[in-house]
Homo-oligomer: A and B are copies of this chain.
């Protein structure tokens, strides 16, 4: 019985990886770079995205895929900010997989889109487990959550090319050790870029925007 379950899981993951590659091929054919944004609930994904869009929207055509269990508030915020967005309801699932992304792309015209952000479900566990077909994974960890999170959610920090340490404007009110968090992330993932910023004030945003520009230019 246990062996059966494991077989099914392996099958599902193999199938997911195949679809994830299809998603990447499809996005490449359209000239679209896709970035998967992951974080805990309330780490500041939406605020950070809105500021990022504002910084790049005159240079690049941007769209946002919002994934939530059932709410649509974030997609509405993106629309209000003037970018095309689609809301995906995961139907109770705690993360997007490649097949959900593929389905969403079939309904969401990305012709001429340079940069597609996916704001994943707020979660540090399930979201890390499946390749969504994104070109890059970015994790946002906010200062109030604490610098110990890489110890507790190692898979998440292992699969990201970039970690944004957000809400640095609140650093005076929380015990958060910048060097310790960097060391913990790099122990899991030596190549990860770790950038410190505030989605609210804009402090530190230049390096993040440069990071995205580099990926857009080399896509």
Contact = CB atoms under 8 A, between A and B. Distances in A.
Contacts of A167: 144
Contacts of A148: 73
Contact of A126 (B41, B73, B126): B126
Given A41-B40, A144-B142, A170-B170, A68 B152 contact: yes
Contacts of A41: 40, 124, 145, 149, 152-153
A126 B68 contact: no
A49 to B, nearest CB: 14
Interface residues of A, number: 34
A42 interface: yes
Contacts of A142: 42, 144
A149 B94 contact: no
Contact of A154 (B69, B94, B129, B146): B69
Contact of A144 (B42, B126, B154): B42
A160 to B, nearest CB: 15
B124 A125 contact: no
Contact of A125 (B43, B121, B152, B155): B121
A70 interface: yes
A36 B142 CA distance: 25
Interface string A147-190: 01101111100000000000101100110000000000000000
Nearest to A94: B125
A71 interface: yes
A133 interface: no
A123 B152 contact: no
Contacts of A173: 169-170, 173
A199 interface: no
Given A42-B142, A42-B149, 15 more contacts: A41-B152, A41-B153, A69-B155, A71-B152, A73-B151, A73-B152, A92-B129, A94-B94, A121-B125, A122-B124, A122-B152, A122-B153, A123-B124, A144-B144, A173-B173
7 contacts: A40-B41, A40-B42, A41-B124, A42-B145, A94-B94, A94-B126, A122-B153
